[in-house]
Amino acid sequence: MGTNVIGVDMGGTKILSAVIDAEGNILGTAKVPTKADKGPSIVIDRIADSIQRAIDKSGVTAASIQAVGIGAPGPLDPATGIVIFAPNLRWKDVRLKEELEARVGFPTFVDNDVNVGTLGEHVFGAGRGFQNVVGIFVGTGIGGGIILQGELFHGASKTAGEIGHIIVKAGGPRCGCGTRGCLEAIASRTAMTKQFQKAIVKKRKKSVLSELTGGDLRAIRSGVLAKAIRANDKLTLKVIKKTTKYLGIGIGSIVNFLNPELIVLGGGVVEALDNTFLDSIRAAAKKYALPNTLDGVQIVQAELGDNAGILGAAALARQRSGAT
């Protein structure tokens, strides 16, 4: 029996594979571009190739590998390993598990990338030792995952954890999903960018963001936000204040409804900003949660950063294959 597993973090632009031992040590990694435009079959070849290269670099034998775990975008069926729809890959009904197993010969387990990130934090990161955990990842969108009694909870339609689409302000800003007032439509980086554009372009507000982005406000990165906060930029602070308020409202609703032991906040925006960002979210959550409901609930920052994907995928491989 093998003692190592492979964790694969599959994104729209790159594939990161790693050999990971039972203690969560990363023994070797390989990163390759996804090249999604070449179609699913080539992309799956590339995953197989990155796995082989990670094994080579780690110096372990193929016989020591128990299983492969993959975090993939999009609605997918974790039981069959079929990616139902992944717009950024242009995939539809791709048999990822089956196709990769045919190429690499290891049992392969697939789950949604945000679920896998949450599992990673649960097993190796900020969620260690907690049984009921909600992961919230704030980036271009807002994604989430739910751990109940130590395992990923998928729900009836395999879509559980869509925290970005709890409605916090009925009639509020239009969301990509077609409705209005979703958390993602108010508190994601995309939502913040819209607020910056409106203020700077339409209302001609002054902001260091104009300078920091060289005038291109279309894609304000999290690092740029961090710089603007350090520069005490009034507009940025105002938008950040609104963002933390709404993240607090979303978390307050989750605390009132599900009352998990731990909420782990991660993603590009959370990682780039400093502790006052997290403190503001905590303060807002406290305001919107019922008295006492927050007593047993901790709100903490994710610990694994860019490694959450591969470590979570390794944990997935280990849990689902029954490896110890």
Residue ranges binding its own copies (CB under 8 A): 75, 132, 144, 146, 148-149, 153-163, 165-172, 177-179, 181, 246, 249, 252-254, 256-261, 287-288, 290-297
Q: How near is the Cβ of 99 to its own copies at its closest, in Å?
A: 23
Token pair for residue 280?
Answer: 């503001």
- 308 membership: H or E segment, kind and range: helix 308-321
- Strand 26-33 vs strand 14-20: parallel, antiparallel, or unpaired? antiparallel
121 or 162: CB nearest its own copies: 162
Q: How near is the Cβ of 287 to its own copies at its closest, in Å?
A: 7
Which of 192, 190, 142, 202 lies closest to 167 in space, CA to CA? 142
Residues 6+ apart with CB under 8 A from 202: none
- What does the angle CA 32 – CA 34 – CA 37 come to, to the nearest 5 degrees? 145
Beta bridge partners of 91: 86
95 or 153: CB nearest its own copies: 153
292 or 324: CB nearest its own copies: 292
Q: How near is the Cβ of 187 to its own copies at its closest, in Å?
A: 11
41 or 256: CB nearest its own copies: 256
2 or 173: CB nearest its own copies: 173
169 or 194: CB nearest its own copies: 169
Q: How near is the Cβ of 78 to its own copies at its closest, in Å?
A: 13
Q: How near is the Cβ of 176 to its own copies at its closest, in Å?
A: 10
Q: How near is the Cβ of 108 to its own copies at its closest, in Å?
A: 24
d(CA 48, CA 317): 16
User: How many Å separate Cα 290 from the centre of its chain?
Assistant: 27
d(CA 152, CA 116): 8
54 or 285: CB nearest its own copies: 285
Terminal C-alpha separation, the chain:
10
Residue spans of alpha helices (H) in 26-95: 40-58
Q: Which residue has the tokens 């390989």?
A: 30
Q: How near is the Cβ of 216 to its own copies at its closest, in Å?
A: 31
